[in-house]
Chains A and B, each alone.
Chain A
Amino acid sequence: MQVPLSWLREYVDIKLDVDELAHRLTMAGNEVDSITRTGSLTLDRVTVGEVLEVSSHPNADRLQIVRVNDGSGEQEAVCGAPNVAVGQRVAFAGIGAELIDAYSDQPSKTKKLRKARIRGIASTGMICSEKELGISENHDEILVLSEDATVGAPVRDLICDAVLDIELTPNRPDCLGIVGVARDVAALTGESLIEPPLDYETDDTDVASLAKVSVVDHDLAPRYMGAVIRGVSIAPSPDWLQQRLIAIGERPINNVVDATNFVMFELGQPLHAFDYDKVQDHHVIVRRAFDGETLTTLDGVERKLSSESLLIADPSRGIGLAGIMGGENTEISDETVNVFLEAANFNAENNRRTASMLGLRSEATLRFEKGLLTGLTEIAIRRCLRIISQVAGGSITAGLIDAKDDRIAEQEEVDLSRERICQVMGIEYSSKDVESTLDALGFDTKPIADGWRVKIPYWRPDISIPEDLIEELARIIGYDDLPATALSGEIPALKSSASIELRRKVVDALVSQGFHQVVSYAAVAKGLDEKIGVDAPTPAPITIENPISRDHSMLRRTLRPTLLETAARNTRTWRAPIALFESGKIFIPNRDEMGLPSEIEMVTGVFTGPRSNIHWDGDQVHFDFFDAKGAVEHVLDKIALDADFSPFSDPLYAPGAAAQIFAAKRFAIGSLGVVKPEIWSKFDPETAGAVLFEIDLNMLEKLLDGRERGDSYKPFSRYPDAHRDLALVMERSIPVESAINICRQNRLIKSVAVFDLYAGSGVPAGQKSVALRLVYHSRSRTLTSDMVARAESQIIVQLQNELGATLRQ
C-alpha cells in the first residue's frame, strides 16, 4: 500500500519526521518497506525566509534587491522574479546550497550556490523558484510558501512529499485505506483522527423511484447499497484529485471513476459506478452467474463464468463481476449523464475464489477477499456521493437503496478480561492504558466485571476474540517493556529419537573421515534418473503439480544423480580430493499408513579425484572401491553393526566392482561400487571416475531398534596374543574372505588381517598369493607354541581341503 504523507496529513497531524513515523508504524505491525521522497535534492541550507524589504536594483531595471530574514539573520539577495513582495515566506537558499541549474540545457543539472555580485550588488543567497528546488519546471516566479511557515525551518519538509510503501499483513484491510493508516498514526502519536466528512445535499426524488436492486444470492452479498446521481458532467478530475491518485500510482480516468477510486484508497471500501442509462430497466440484480455465461470486463477481456461467481446483472445480461471488476457495457463514458453508484459487501471467500479462478487480482478484490464489515458500506457510499457531487456535479437522489441480509449477524462486541491479558502477556496493563489505547484506535469500551466490553468498529473485521484486542494493546503500547521470563512449568520428559540419533552418528562418522556434507534440492528434473541408467522408473515418481521449474518438477527417488552432479561440478573448481555425502529423504509413491508417500532417509556418498592432496612424499592415487568400502565399514563400526559385502549387480555400478551390504546376513542396508565410466562421463567427461556408496538409514534403524545397546564395556583378557603369518597361494577367483572365514572358524583365532596380496611372476598363472596375519588367543590361559602350532596346522589342512590353497614356499 502506497501512503503519501501529504494525503495522510489530511486525517492526522504529523509532527514526527518521516523516518521516525515509519519506524513507529513498523513496530506496530504496518511494516514500512521503503520511503520514496519526491524532489531529487536534499535542499540542505534552504530555509524559510521572510521578505523584509524589496528595493529596485540601481544598475538593472528588471532586478530587485531583497532583504530577507532567514532565521539566522538578515541576508541580501538579488531577485528577478516579478512576484516577490514584502511579508512573503519564501524558500531562501544560503551559500553552499545545491540547486537545479535553471539555465542549463540538461534537465536535472545542479549547481552549488556561491557568493556573487550581480551587477555590482553583493548577494548572500537566493530566493528560489520551484524549478530551482527541483519540484516543477516553473522558473517564471519564486515559490511563495504558506504564511504560517516558520522562519528558519527547513523548506524540504514543506514542499516535498514522501510516499511510505507499507507491506500490509492480510489481517488489516482497514489499512488498505489511508484513513486506516491515519488511525494507527493517531493512536501511536497521541493525535486525534480527523474523520473525512460524509454529508452531501440531495434532491427530492426518492432513489427507489429511479432504480431497483434485487439480491438473489444474499449469502454472497450480505449488503448491497445503491444511489443515483443525475446530470453529472463527466470530465477529467480536478488537480487535487488527480494528484492524490497519481501519488499512489493510480491513473486518473474521469471525475466519477476517480471519485470511486479515491474513496476506495481513502476508506478501503471498493465502489463501482455504472452508467445508469445503460442498466436495463434501471434494475440491478445480484446473482450467481450461469455456467458458461460470459461478461466482458472493463479491461476488454471476455470472461467465461461459472455458477461459482457472483454477477451484477440487469434483467438481460451481466454488467459487472461483483467486487472484482465492472462490465464494459455499463462503463462510465464521456456521454454518461446519470450514474448508478454501487457500494456493497461481498463474501470474502467467494470473491477470492472467483478472482483466482479468473486470474484477475484487482484492487477491489484485494480488499473484499480480506472480509470487510457491512458497516463500512454505508460510510463509503456517503463519502463517495459527497466527492462525486464536488468533482462532477449532478443531483443526488434522496435516500439510499440498502439491500441487507437480515440473517447476517456480525459480531459486535468482545469481552476482554484483565485476567486474560495477564494469562497471555504475563503482565498487567493499567486500566488507563487499556482504555486510552483502545479509545485511540476507535474501540468503544465499557467497564464490566474484571474487564471491558469492547465494541468492534466497522473498519476492523480482524477483531473477534480477546487475543485480538490484547494484540492491539501490545502493539500500540509496545513490547520493549515486556519482561523476559523463563518458562516455569514442568519440563516434559525428553524421549530420545532413535532416527535422529542414528543419523547424527552416521553423519558424524562421515565428517570425521573427511567428507563434506551437501544438501541438494529434494525436487529434481524428470529424466534425471535415466541419466544413471534407470530406464523405466518404477514406481512412477511423485510429481509436483505446479513446479517452480522443469528442473525441479519431481520428488527425488534417489540421492545418486544429484550427488554425482554435485561431485562432477566440483571437479572443475576443486583440485583436491572430493569426498561428499548427502543425508536426506527420498520419496517413494506407495502410501504409508497415514496415506502419504514413504519418505526414506538415505545417506549417499561419493569419492572422485585423487585420494589425497598433492604431497612431496607421496604419489597421488585415485580413490577406488576400497575407499568407499572403508568409509562404509567405518560408519558401521561407529554404530557397532556387523555387515557382509557380496558382489552386486546394479545399473549404476560397473559389473564386478560393486557390492551389496547386508546386515545380520539377510537385510540389505545399502550398496557401493565403482560408477560405470559411461555413466560418470555423462556427468564429467574430464576426470577418471567416481565411487559411490549408499546406506538406507530407515533399514538401519529397524535393525538397531530393539537391539541391546552395543556400547557396554566388556572385560578384556589378560593373556597374551600369539601372532603367526601364513602365505597362501590360491585360485584368483576365490574371495579372500573364504580363507579368512576358515581361519576364523578355529576357536583360538582372535583376528585375521590381510597384509599382502600379489599375483604375477613367481606365482602360477591364475593364482594369487595372499598373506594373512593370524592372531591366536585364549581367554583362559597363555598359549604355548605347541598349541599354536597345532591350531595352525589344522587351519592349513582346512585351507588346503576346502579351497585348494597351499603354503607359499
Chain B
Amino acid sequence: MNRDDTLESARELERISLSALAAAGTETELERWRIGYLGRRGALSDQMRSLAKLHPEQRRVAGARLNQLKSTLTQAFADARKRIGEESMPSAKDIDAIDVTLPGRRIRLGGLHPSEAMMREILQAFNEMGFQTVEGPSVEFEKYNFDMLNVPAYHPARDLQDTLWIDRSPQNRVLLRTQTSPMQIRTMETQEPPVRIVSPGLCFRREATDTTHEWQFHQIEGLAVDEGVTMSDLKGTLYEFARRIFGQRRKLRFRCDYFPFVEPGVDVSVDWKGKWVEIMGAGMVHPKVLEGVGYDTSRYTGFAFGMGPERIAMLRYDIEDIRHFFSNDLRFLSQF
C-alpha cells in the first residue's frame, strides 16, 4: 500500500460515509453510522491505524488527509444530528391533505320556543325600565280575572273575552284566566305604590281558532302605579319598548279603544313595513280598579298595557298562522 492508495481510500471513505449519513433518517441510524465510521472500531479508525504501515514522509501527507476527513465527518455528523432532530419535531409535513368540503362534526342546535324567545326579549325591555316580572296562577278566581278589573258579572264587556270555566257554582267561581291582568290585582293587594310590574303567562279564551286567533296564547301585562304616572308616560314607556323590539325610529300610534279596566283606553299600533299594525291595548288604570285594592285615587294614577307575544312574534318573523305556535312542528321550531 502506498500513499496514493491511502489518499484514494480516504476519498472513497468520505464519499461513502457522507452518502450513508445523508440516508440516515433517525437517531438510531445516525448512531449506527457514528459507530461505523467515527467509532473506535470504525472505518476512519481503521484507516488511521493503517498509516503505521507507510513511509514517514508519506504518512505525514496521508495523516493530514485523514485528520481533515475526520473533522469533515464530525462536522457532517453534527449537522446530520441537527437535521434529524428537527425532522423528528411535529411538522405540517406530517398532516395528510384532507377534503375540506366534507361536512364537519356538529353539536345539535337547540332552540327556545319562539313564544318564549319573544317573551324574554319583551320582558327584558321592561325589566330594564324597572318593571318586575311577576307570575300567577292560570286557574284563577273570577273576581281577579273580571270583577276587580271593573268587569262585573253580566257586564257586556265580558263578551270581549269568552271564558273557559272550571267551576261555575255561585260560591266558588273559578276559570282559566282570559288575561294575565289578575296579577295587577294580586300585586296591588299586597303592595303599596310605587308598583311597576310585567306579568307573562298563558291565557285561555273560548274562541274559534283561525290564522290569527288561538284559544290558548301568551300574554304580557304591564302595570305602573305611582304619584304622577300619566298617559304621556305610557306613551314614552311604550315608545322605548317598540324601539327595542321593532327597531330604532319606529313610531307608535294611539287610538281610542275600550277596555273596562282602563280609562282612557287606547289601542297601540306600530309602524311596521309601511303600515300601522295594532300590537297592544293600554290605558290609564280605571279609578274603580285602584279603589278596589284600596289605593287613594286622588293621589295615585297608573297605566296598564297588555300584549300577545305570539302576535308580536308573527310580525317580527313574518309568521302567517298563529296555529304554528302550539303545533310544535320542528320544521317551524327549528327556524328560531
Contacts and interface: CB of A to CB of B under 8 A. Distances in A.
B100 interface: no
Nearest to B153: A349
Contacts of A31: 257
A596 B140 contact: yes
Contact of A424 (B206, B252, B301): B301
Nearest to A547: B164
B137 to A, nearest CB: 6
Interface residues of A, number: 94
B230 A423 contact: yes
Nearest to B266: A479
Given A424-B264, A492-B130, A479 B255 contact: yes
B174 A574 contact: no
Contact of A519 (B113, B140, B236, B255): B113
B132 A424 contact: no
A434 interface: no
23 contacts: A170-B155, A170-B260, A171-B258, A423-B230, A465-B263, A467-B286, A484-B252, A485-B232, A516-B334, A517-B112, A518-B333, A521-B326, A523-B204, A552-B215, A585-B138, A585-B202, A596-B137, A596-B140, A596-B141, A597-B139, A597-B166, A613-B106, A616-B102
* Residue of A423, A497, A584 most packed against chain B (CB within 10 A): A423
A423 B155 CA distance: 28
Given A487-B130, A511-B110, A596-B140, 10 more contacts: A426-B233, A470-B264, A484-B239, A484-B252, A494-B132, A516-B334, A519-B326, A544-B164, A569-B328, A595-B141
Interface string A22-39: 000011110100000000
Contacts of A372: none
Interface stretch (B26-34, B56-64, B87-95, B221-229): B221-229
A170 B230 contact: no
Contact of A570 (B226, B232, B330): B330
A574 B330 contact: yes
Nearest to B325: A519
Contacts of B255: 26-29, 475, 479
B254 interface: yes
Contacts of B236: 483-487
A67 interface: no
Chain A binding surface, main DSSP class:
loop
A539 interface: no
Contacts of A546: 164-165, 206
A148 to B, nearest CB: 36
Interface in A446-484: 465, 467-468, 470-471, 474-475, 479-480, 482-484
A172 interface: yes
A518 B115 CA distance: 9
B133 interface: yes
Nearest to A470: B264
A426 B232 contact: yes
Q: 8 smallest A-B Cβ distances: which pairs?
A: A514-B108, A426-B230, A426-B232, A169-B258, A29-B256, A471-B264, A475-B256, A479-B254
B115 A484 contact: no
A544 B206 CA distance: 11
B103 A616 contact: yes
A668 interface: no
Contact of A599 (B112, B138, B155): B138
A615 B252 CA distance: 50
Contacts of B229: 487, 489
Interface in A505-519: 507, 510-519
Given A479-B266, A488-B228, A578-B330, A595 B258 contact: no
B216 interface: yes
A223 interface: no
A335 interface: no
A424 B230 contact: yes
A47 B208 CA distance: 46
B134 A497 contact: yes
B257 A169 contact: yes
Interface of A: 26-29, 31, 169-172, 348-349, 352-353, 356, 369-370, 422-427, 465, 467-468, 470-471, 474-475, 479-480, 482-492, 494-495, 497, 499-500, 507, 510-523, 542-548, 552, 555, 566, 569-570, 573-574, 577-580, 584-585, 587, 594-597, 599, 612-613, 615-618
Contacts of B166: 542-545, 555, 597
B11 interface: no
B172 interface: yes
A480 B176 CA distance: 37
Nearest to B107: A514
A489 B228 contact: yes
Contacts of B153: 349
A516 B331 CA distance: 11
B25 interface: no
Contacts of B115: 519
A650 B228 CA distance: 58
* Residue of A172, A490, A547, A548 most packed against chain B (CB within 10 A): A548
Given A566-B328, A578-B330, A615 B160 contact: no
B103 A426 contact: no
Q: What bracket does the count of chain B residues touching chain A fall in?
A: 35 or more
A511 B111 contact: yes
B45 to A, nearest CB: 45
Nearest to A511: B110
Interface string B230-266: 1111011101100000000000111111101001111
Nearest to A563: B328
Given A468-B263, A474-B231, A492-B132, A579 B105 contact: no
Nearest to B214: A521
B154 interface: yes
A535 to B, nearest CB: 25
B174 A510 contact: no
Nearest to B263: A467
A547 B164 CA distance: 6
B245 to A, nearest CB: 16
A525 B257 CA distance: 37
Given A28-B256, A423-B301, A500-B133, A489 B165 contact: no
A507 B113 CA distance: 10
Nearest to A571: B330
Interface string B128-170: 0110111101111100000000000111110110001111100
* Residue of A353, A465, A492, A612 most packed against chain B (CB within 10 A): A492
A597 B167 CA distance: 12
A516 to B, nearest CB: 5
A748 to B, nearest CB: 35
Contact of A426 (B195, B215, B231, B326): B231
Contacts of B129: 487
A599 B176 contact: no
B188 interface: no
A495 B330 contact: no
A424 B328 CA distance: 44
A427 B203 CA distance: 35
Contact of A522 (B112, B138, B140, B207): B138
Nearest to B331: A573
A613 B325 CA distance: 25
A373 to B, nearest CB: 15
B121 interface: no
Contacts of A510: 110
Interface in B176-207: 176, 194-196, 202, 204, 206-207
Contacts of A480: 253-254
* Residue of A29, A578, A584, A613 most packed against chain B (CB within 10 A): A29
Nearest to A555: B139
A489 B131 CA distance: 12
Nearest to A592: B137
* Residue of B141, B196, B325 most packed against chain A (CB within 10 A): B196
B287 interface: yes
B110 A514 contact: yes
A555 B328 CA distance: 19
B127 interface: yes
